[in-house]
Chain A
Amino acid sequence: MSATVQQCTACSSVMFPFRLFCPYCGHWEFADHQVDDAVVEETTTLADGAVIATVVCGAGARLIARIVGGEVSQGDKVALSNEPDREPGVFAYIPFTPESRY
Chain B
Amino acid sequence: MTASIIATGETPYTRHPPAATTTPQVIAEAVRRALSDAGLTPQDVDGFAVSSFTLEPDHAVDLAWRMGFELSWLMQDTNGGASAGGMLQHAIHAIEAGDASTVVVAAGDLMDRNAFSSLVARYNRATEQHLSPLPLSGPNALFAMLTSRQMRALGLERSDYGKIAVAQRRWAAKNPGAVYRDPMSLDDYLTAPMVADPLGRFDCVPPVTGADAVVVAADERVAGRRRARVLAVTASYNSDNQTGDGLQTGLQACAPPAWDRAGISPEEAGVIGVYDDYPAMVIAQLMDMGFITAGADVPKFIDSSIFTGKLALNTSGGQLSAGQAGSAGGMHGLVEVANQLLRQAGDRQTDARFGVVSGYGMVLYRYGACANMAILESVA
Interface segment, one of B27-35, B101-109, B129-137:
B129-137
Q: List 5 A-B contacts (CB under 8 A).
A: A43-B145, A46-B140, A46-B196, A50-B135, A66-B136
With a cutoff of 8 Å between Cβ atoms, the chain A residues found around residue B148 in the complex are 42, 44
Q: Bound state CA distance, A43 and B195, in angstroms?
A: 13
Q: How many B residues touch A, CB cutoff 8 Å?
A: 29
**Which residue in chain A gives the minimum CB-CB distance to B364?**
A17
Determine if B193 is an interface residue (Cβ-Cβ < 8 Å): yes
Q: Which residues of A are interface residues toward B (Cβ below 8 A)?
A: 16-17, 23, 41-47, 50, 52-54, 60, 62, 64-66, 84, 93-97, 100
Residue pair B241, A23 in contact (C-beta under 8 Å): yes
- Provided the pairs A47-B193, A64-B366 are in contact, do residues A95 and B145 lie with their beta carbons within 8 angstroms? no
Determine if B141 is an interface residue (Cβ-Cβ < 8 Å): yes
Question: Which of the listed residues B196, B241, B366 has the most CB atoms from chain A within 10 Å of its own CB?
Answer: B196
**Which residue in chain A gives the minimum CB-CB distance to B131?**
A64
Determine if B142 is an interface residue (Cβ-Cβ < 8 Å): yes
Residue pair A52, B194 in contact (C-beta under 8 Å): no
Q: Bound state CA distance, A97 and B126, in angstroms?
A: 12
Residue pair B197, A45 in contact (C-beta under 8 Å): yes
Known: A23-B243, A50-B134, A65-B134. 7 other contacts (CB 8 A): A16-B130, A17-B129, A44-B141, A44-B197, A53-B145, A62-B242, A62-B243
Contact among B129, B145, B149 with A97 in the assembled complex (CB-CB below 8 Å): B129
Residue pair B196, A52 in contact (C-beta under 8 Å): yes
**Which residue in chain A gives the minimum CB-CB distance to B244?**
A62
Determine if B144 is an interface residue (Cβ-Cβ < 8 Å): yes
Contact among A46, A50, A64, A84 with B365 in the assembled complex (CB-CB below 8 Å): A64
Residue pair A42, B196 in contact (C-beta under 8 Å): no
Residue pair A95, B130 in contact (C-beta under 8 Å): yes
- Provided the pairs A23-B241, A44-B148 are in contact, do residues A52 and B141 lie with their beta carbons within 8 angstroms? yes
As a 0/1 sequence over residues 139 to 161 of chain B, the CB contacts with chain A under 8 angstroms (1 = contact) are 01110110011000000000000
Contact among B130, B142, B194, B242 with A94 in the assembled complex (CB-CB below 8 Å): B130
B125 to nearest A CB, angstroms? 8
Q: Bound state CA distance, A66 and B194, in angstroms?
A: 18
Residue pair B194, A93 in contact (C-beta under 8 Å): no
Q: Bound state CA distance, A11 and B119, in angstroms?
A: 36
Residue pair B145, A96 in contact (C-beta under 8 Å): no
Q: Bound state CA distance, A85 and B373, in angstroms?
A: 45
- Provided the pairs A17-B126, A94-B130, A97-B129 are in contact, do residues A45 and B145 lie with their beta carbons within 8 angstroms? no
Residue pair B134, A93 in contact (C-beta under 8 Å): yes
With a cutoff of 8 Å between Cβ atoms, the chain A residues found around residue B130 in the complex are 16-17, 64, 94-96
**Which residue in chain A gives the minimum CB-CB distance to B136?**
A52
Residue pair B194, A47 in contact (C-beta under 8 Å): yes
- Provided the pairs A47-B193, A47-B194 are in contact, do residues A52 and B365 lie with their beta carbons within 8 angstroms? no
With a cutoff of 8 Å between Cβ atoms, the chain A residues found around residue B135 in the complex are 50, 66
Residue pair B131, A42 in contact (C-beta under 8 Å): no
Residue pair B195, A66 in contact (C-beta under 8 Å): no
- Provided the pairs A17-B130, A96-B129, A96-B130 are in contact, do residues A42 and B195 lie with their beta carbons within 8 angstroms? no
B149 to nearest A CB, angstroms? 6
As a 0/1 sequence over residues 299 to 332 of chain B, the CB contacts with chain A under 8 angstroms (1 = contact) are 0000000000000000000000000000000000
Residue pair B366, A54 in contact (C-beta under 8 Å): yes
B285 to nearest A CB, angstroms? 21
Q: Which 4 A-B pairs have the closest CB atoms?
A: A95-B133, A44-B144, A42-B145, A52-B141
